[in-house]
Amino acid sequence: MKNAKFANNREAGQTLILGVIAILILLLATLFIYDLSSVIKTKVRSQTAVDAAALAAANWQVESLNLIGEMNLVKACTVLVSDIIPFGDDSPEGITFSSELLTEMQARVSFVGPVIGLGAAQQAAKNNRMISNSHYTMVVNEHIEHLMDDDYYGEDIGIPQEIEGYSWRSPYIDMVYAVNIEGGGIAVAPNTEFAGLPDIDPSWLMDLTLYDAIAAEYWCHDTLIWLLKSYSFDGKWWDLEILSDFADFSEESEYLPLYTEFSDIGDMETFSDAYSYLQEIASERTMIVSDEYDTDEPEDTDGINSPLPYVKWCLYESSWWTGAPSADWTDGSYLRSGLKDEYAYGGAVAKMTSEIDIDYQSSSYSVHSLASEKLITKGATTQITSTSSALAKPLGSFGEGLPPYLSGMVLPVFTMSRLIPISMQDPSGMYDPFNSRLYDLYEFLQWLDTVDDIDNPGSSPPDGGAYFLYCLQLLNSETWRSKGYNRNYVDTGSYPTTPYDPGSNPTGAGWLQMGYIYQYDGEYPIAIIETNEDTCDDWYGSGSGPRDGPSQLH
């Protein structure tokens, strides 16, 4: 009886311990579920917002292209003489005056339409509960400041201050300012064609994927392989040059550009190429396409002096002819079947991107032993960034199912916009200033340019730069590089039994040099048939190379 009582006392409190453990597990599980719910909810909200924004912007591209096309049609038809001031004047002077008015209006539309689309995209995103992004807003504000600076957009550096008679600069600044400042900031980042971040020489220093490959020791990254095998890491190998070129201006809106340009006066070849398309569209509007003759020629059919030698046409710029989406998207594999030929063209697109920081609660809690003073402690709340993007495209074709650019000149054939996978026609260049990581990298490289010793720089890198410094310090270490590719590797003619080790095997093979497929003599490998590097371009479901598929759908 006494022993039974002692046993009960010894077991007292064990249920309490199990209960505490269960409560801790439930607490952490609840926090994880809360975090998961927050991530999913935020991702759905941001994806919905960028989808709506991209479609809103692309719809304005549709309207802009159609309006420009209508004015091309007017130029090609007799209404240029009969319905536009000076009425009935088919003299060269009268026709030139009327044509120049229409050309100036086309130039205006190429600025105004896309910027209105930029504003519509921001409103669509904000209607879906997206808030302004401080980085995006800052980038657009910097662009406005550059637009006002002659060193960036002045006539002395080759930027025309009038485009087809339209003094674009002041109203363009006012429109962008209204969207950015008066509109409450930029919530989703658009695709742009302004200079953005200056070029860096060597360009691989601005490659974000290289830094991620270094951090992950992904030895199959193409640039990393080249650096490990061939690059000289002597002296200040990170020396760089910042190349500023401010004379890059598309002569239309740099936000959501339409990719149009103007022909020379009297471009009869363009008219001839578009003649059949003009006839089809004009007949639907009960309009008459002008002939090439004047009233003194027997072939004249419209009874007026031909306006054609005195007009300019607004054309599709060369980017429309790229065939994007490329043939890789029309081969019937993966998610590419069913793409209509008439929609396989480049040109205008609207891409929108969002970034939202999400507080991640569960990772900030730590569980300790039951004997500790505090079973669970809370550290600083961490954040993860949710990035969403969408691409929408103006779509249109001629009745025969042909792409619109075949007409040469822009014509009013666009009927809709649709969301498409980003990889089909991603307009973002390498130096995208709206990419906050890329912007941080650029500021880091500006700081790095002042550093003489990368391992002991003497000052801290700017915000967001510590990660890039860490990666370049790894790259600066011959020991680290040799883990991937050992330039001191001694090939004995047989397979390497052990990988490189700075102490025990300094002439051993790096990962890229190690065998992947061996030749065997019985049960013993005697030679290497294929190295790990040989597999970097393979993808058989388990190889180390990249998959042959789209890099990004959203």
Query: Of the candidates 323, 316, 306, 322, which has an alpha carbon nearest to the alpha carbon of residue 263?
Result: 316
Which of 49-53, 317-321, 497-501 bottoms out in mean pLDDT, i.e. has the lowest? 497-501
First to last CA, the chain: 73
- 227 phi/psi in degrees, rounded to 5: -65, -45
Say if 26 falls within a structural domain: no
Q: Indicate whether 450 pLDDT > 60.
A: yes
Whether the predicted pLDDT of 67 surpasses 90: yes
pLDDT tens per residue across span 360-413: 666 666 655 555 566 566 656 676 778 899 999 999 998 778 899 999 999 999
**pLDDT tens figures, 484-499:** 999 998 877 667 767 8
Q: Kindly tell me if the per-residue pLDDT of 213 is higher than 90.
A: yes
CB 117 within 8 A of CB 56: yes
Q: What is the pLDDT of residues 138-167, one digit of tens each?
A: 999 999 998 999 988 988 888 999 999 999
Q: Are residues 41 and 386 in contact, defined by beta-carbon separation less than 8 angstroms?
A: no
Mean pLDDT of 178-192: 94
**pLDDT range class, residue 547, cuts 50, 70, 90:** very low
- Average of pLDDT values for 230-250? 85
Is pLDDT above 50 for 16? Answer: yes
- Cβ atoms within 10 Å of 270's Cβ, excluding its own: 20
On the question of pLDDT at 28 being above 80, the answer is: no
pTM of structure: 0.81
pLDDT of residue 328: 58
pLDDT score at 114:
98
Q: Given this model, what pLDDT does residue 423 score?
A: 79
Lowest-pLDDT range, 33-37, 42-46, 488-492, 499-503?
Answer: 33-37
Nearest CA among 526, 471, 468 for reference residue 216 = 471
Q: Output the pLDDT for position 246.
A: 61
Q: What is the DSSP string of 451-465?
A: -S-SSS-SSPPPTT-
> Is position 42 within any domain?
no
* 74 domain-assigned: no
- 349 φ, ψ to 5°? -145, 160
342 domain-assigned: no
Give pLDDT, residue 253: 96
Cα gap 174→148, rounded to integer Å: 11
- For the cut 90, the answer to whether the pLDDT of residue 73 exceeds it is yes
Percent of the chain's residues with pLDDT above 70: 82
**pLDDT at position 543, please?**
46
Do 382 and 362 contact (CB within 8 A), yes or no?
no
The stretch 340-352 carries a mean pLDDT of 88
275 within some domain: no
Distance of CA 234 to the CA centre of its chain: 35
User: DSSP labels for 293-352?
Assistant: --TTSTT--SSS---GGG---EEE-GGGGG-SSPGGGSSS-TT-TT--GGG---S--EEE
Q: What is the pLDDT at residue 439?
A: 87
CA–CA gap between residue 291 and residue 90 (Å, rounded)? 13
Q: What is the pLDDT of residue 536?
A: 85
Identify the pLDDT of residue 109: 98
Higher pLDDT, 491 or 61: 61
Which of helix, strand or coil describes residue 496? coil
Measured between alpha carbons, how far is residue 227 from residues 51, 207, 238, 475, 485 in Å? 39, 13, 12, 9, 10
Whether residue 551 is predicted with pLDDT greater than 80 in this model: the reply is: no
- How high is the pLDDT of residue 541? 44
pLDDT at 511: 93
Q: pLDDT band for position 552 (50/70/90)? A: low
Instruction: Please check the confidence at residue 14 and state whether its pLDDT lies above 70.
Output: no
Residue pair 500/508 in contact (Cβ under 8 Å)? The answer is: yes
Tokens of 497: 């039994």
Angle between helices 169-177 and 92-127 (to 10 degrees): 20
pLDDT recorded at residue 461: 95
Say if 450 falls within a structural domain. yes
Question: Is-contact 433 439, C-beta < 8 A?
Answer: yes
- What pLDDT is attached to residue 325? 62
Residue that is written with structure tokens 């397979």 in the block: 495
Q: What is the band of 291 on the pLDDT scale with cuts at 50, 70, 90?
A: confident
User: What percent helix, strand, coil does the chain show, rounded to 5?
Assistant: 45, 15, 40
Q: Supply the pLDDT for residue 436.
A: 86
Q: What confidence tier does 417 reach under pLDDT thresholds 50, 70, 90? A: very high
Tokens of 60: 């304005």
pLDDT band, very low/low/confident/very high, at 17 (cuts 50, 70, 90): low
Domain that holds residue 442: 202-244+435-537
Taking residues 459-485, report their average pLDDT.
95
Q: Name the domain count of the chain.
A: 1
In a domain, 68, yes or no: no
pLDDT band for 313, please (50, 70, 90 cuts).
very high
Residue 518's beta-bridge partner residues?
528
Q: What is the DSSP letter of 288?
A: -
Quick check: is 302 in a domain?
no
